[in-house]
Structure 1
Amino acid sequence: MEVTDADVDAEVKELAAQYGMEEGAVRAAVSVEMLKNDISMKKALALITDSAVEA
């Protein structure tokens, strides 16, 4: 799964809002690679659930 800089920025904004933190504090606390990994997993899960067919 490809993760763009825009994806990372959106994730940082979401985490900052969720935890009541400044975006800079989120970026200092969490590495870009960790964010990219989490975003990639979310995208993969969304792809699987979106393509699932109810039996």
Structure 2
Amino acid sequence: MLLTPAAMKVTDPHVTLQTEPFLRYDRNVVGGQLAESYLRQHGTTPHQRCELDGLGAYPG
């Protein structure tokens, strides 16, 4: 699943991953490993902005 702002019109998720800033989930945890596996299987190199070690809740 690719999460983007509602206003962003995504026609090809792989192109979006390569051109828009990508916030990567920690590759040392299962969710991050699954994402990394998907990216490798599809030959997609994301435009990585940072790698997060956890998902914080937004109280808004």
Q: TM-score, normalised by structure 2?
A: 0.28
The structure with the largest helix share of the pair is 1
Larger radius of gyration: 1
Q: TM-score, normalised by structure 1?
A: 0.29
The structure with the largest strand share of the pair is 2
